[in-house]
Copies of this chain bind each other. A is one copy, B any other.
Amino acid sequence: MITAKTLEDVISTLSHVTRIDEFSATSSFPEFDQELVRPIIEEAGRLASEVLAPLNRTGDEHGAKLVDGDVIAAPGFKEAYDAFREGGWMSLAFPEEYSGQGLPQTMALPVMELIQAANMSFSLCPMLSFGAIEALMAHGTDEQKTTYLPKLVSGEWTGTMNLTEPQAGSDVGALKTKAEPIGDGSYAITGQKIFITWGDHDLTDNIIHLVLARLPDAPAGSKGISLFLCPKFLLDDAGEPGERNGARCIGLEQKMGIHASPTCVMEFDGAKGWMIGEPNKGLAAMFTMMNSARLQVGIQGVAQSEAAYQAARQYADERLQGRRPGEAGAAAIVRHADVQNMLLNMRAKTLTARAICYECARAGDVAHTSNDDAAKTQAKWREEILTPIAKAWSTDIGVEMASLGVQVHGGMGFMGETLAAQIYRDARIAPIYEGTNGIQAMDLVSRKLPMAGGKAIASMLDEYIRTAEELKASADDSLKHVGKKLGAAIGILRQASDWLSANGPDGADASMFGATAYLDMFGKVAGVHYLARGAMHAQSAGSNSAGELTDLALFLSEFDLSLVEGLLDRVRLGETLSYNRRMELLS
């Protein structure tokens, strides 16, 4: 759930942490008017709380159904999707040439966050379309773009991503689906895909499947995979949905959560498809949209954490239980110190995870649009480094905070009809899909740490150190204290980076064993860094939110940064217990 306070926190993060106002002056979005931030967020907040949130519990209870070979969305979802599409929410950040609105991702991401916080199942439908649109924009032919993009961007049709097969999950290269040329430039696609999110539904007239498959002569492994476009209904001469194609949902997974998001087993039975991009370069095409897809999942973690916080805070305000020392009568549980501890942790962690995700989006915006080469390179580095952190750290936070949300609710949190329990179930998928969080940590250590000979991460930590110095020089005692704590933690993070670099960042066993602890450390440091920087800006701007941002940064500097030094031992643990010894201990 989201509240007015959610919207204020989102706007405050955009204003003071991510400095979205800078876009209007210096970036490649010269027409972006920062006065739009508040109305866009408030309007998205209305869609989220008035249209999508009311369908969240019913969607969970009813789920999507497979009826006579067609997937029927949960009640009300079609109408909600129409409202979403008609409001223009699908097209915010796509180029105007495809009937998009050309806004920065930094603006579109918070909108998706609100939608996800209100109804995670619903949000997955546009999210998958985003991926299909990006792949088409980057690799499609002009004809493919003209034919499909406007209707995908407007939301008239949706897109899906068909990667996983039973034997090919994290290791996409193991997939077996075949694509045989028919002779007319198209291909017959045959195979089975699993875990296909919104693979079929009745929200739109057509669905554009993007499918990874192998050509008959393709080399084995990940270098023999091509990407194909395969519509549910083949287009007629007018470009409208015509003949039914051989791509069908043959089963829906029964899942622990996100019940209203149909997770399909898709059967491609000689389905007609067209290649996107080069033969055997399908994986590369998928990689082009990986950063944004991972960030989309990262913001789901933020959204679930926010939803859990708002539900818990409201419950804690209403639920009377126990007494405050020295007072008569039952007290609202928000007044008990231990409950405050849980709630403050939830609020502060949500803010830091949000800050990391928005910063990642901003880096992406600059990297994709800046005309300044140096700025572009720096921004690309930031995007590459922050993406696995945004994905893994935020979704871990999502799960942890969802669990705390249940705890604040007490016995009521365990009841099936309680929103807190749904969030606990829904949020659990995010650390798994779009690359498990373990894979994100390995990506951070084995690809991002060695990037530009180590300069990418080093320059980012230099920037963090400069912020810490500024904080230490602040006139505000709290910020001064945060600066000291932050400076020390950055020093530890550098030590961890050095150790991992020395112990084989290229997938060597010892460094991989410590990868998750490194990512956790990085998330804690990055999060407090952005939050404290935002607090500093809010103070100098005389903003109402300055006090809150400052105190929450102070809270986390003790609550979280204090753990960073201990995490260094976790990072280096791979050399203490050898691979063979670990295997024995797990036998």
Per the bound structure, the CA–CA distance linking A388 and B469 in Å amounts to 43
Residues of B within 8 A of A564 (CB): 566
Other A-B contacts than A336-B512, A342-B438, A558-B572, 8 sampled, CB-CB below 8 A, are A170-B321, A195-B411, A334-B586, A340-B583, A341-B573, A410-B432, A413-B432, A558-B573
The answer on a CB contact under 8 Å between B334 and A583 is yes
The answer on a CB contact under 8 Å between B344 and A411 is no
Count how many chain A residues have C-beta atoms less than 8 Å from C-beta atoms of the other chain: 91
The reply on A313 being an interface residue by CB < 8 A is yes
Specify how many copies of this chain sit in the oligomer. 2
Taking CB as reference atom, which chain B residue is nearest A168? B321
The answer on a CB contact under 8 Å between A563 and B554 is no
Closest-CB distance, A228 to chain B (whole angstroms)? 22
Binary interface encoding of chain A residues 59-85 relative to chain B, with 1 for a CB under 8 A from any of its CBs, else 0: 000000000000000000000000000
Taking CB as reference atom, which chain B residue is nearest A403? B399
The reply on A158 being an interface residue by CB < 8 A is no
Report if A257-B432 is in contact (Cβ < 8 Å); known contacts: A399-B403, A585-B551.
Answer: no
Residues of B within 8 A of A416 (CB): 253-256
The reply on A171 being an interface residue by CB < 8 A is yes
Per the bound structure, the CA–CA distance linking A413 and B548 in Å amounts to 38
Binding stretch for chain B, among A17-25, A135-143, A423-431: A423-431
Residues of B within 8 A of A171 (CB): 321-323, 330
Q: Which residues of A from 399 to 452 have beta carbons under 8 Å from B?
A: 399, 403, 406-407, 410-411, 413-417, 421, 424-425, 428-429, 431-433, 436-438, 441-442
Binding stretch for chain B, among A101-109, A237-245, A574-582: A574-582
Per the bound structure, the CA–CA distance linking A322 and B439 in Å amounts to 11
Per the bound structure, the CA–CA distance linking A442 and B339 in Å amounts to 11
Closest-CB distance, A546 to chain B (whole angstroms)? 13
Per the bound structure, the CA–CA distance linking A416 and B258 in Å amounts to 11
The answer on a CB contact under 8 Å between A551 and B570 is no
The reply on A509 being an interface residue by CB < 8 A is yes
Choice from B253, B337, B399 contacting A509 with Cβ under 8 Å: B337
The reply on A151 being an interface residue by CB < 8 A is no
Choice from B343, B347, B438, B551 contacting A338 with Cβ under 8 Å: B438
Chain A residues at the B interface, C-beta cutoff of 8 Å: 164, 167, 169-171, 174, 195, 253-257, 313, 316, 320-323, 325, 330, 334-344, 347, 399, 403, 406-407, 410-411, 413-417, 421, 424-425, 428-429, 431-433, 436-438, 441-442, 507-510, 512-513, 515-516, 548, 551-552, 554-555, 558-559, 562-570, 572-574, 576-577, 579, 581-583, 585-586
Choice from B254, B507, B570 contacting A562 with Cβ under 8 Å: B570
Taking CB as reference atom, which chain B residue is nearest A312? B586
Choice from B429, B515, B585 contacting A414 with Cβ under 8 Å: B429
Per the bound structure, the CA–CA distance linking A407 and B576 in Å amounts to 24
Taking CB as reference atom, which chain B residue is nearest A510? B337
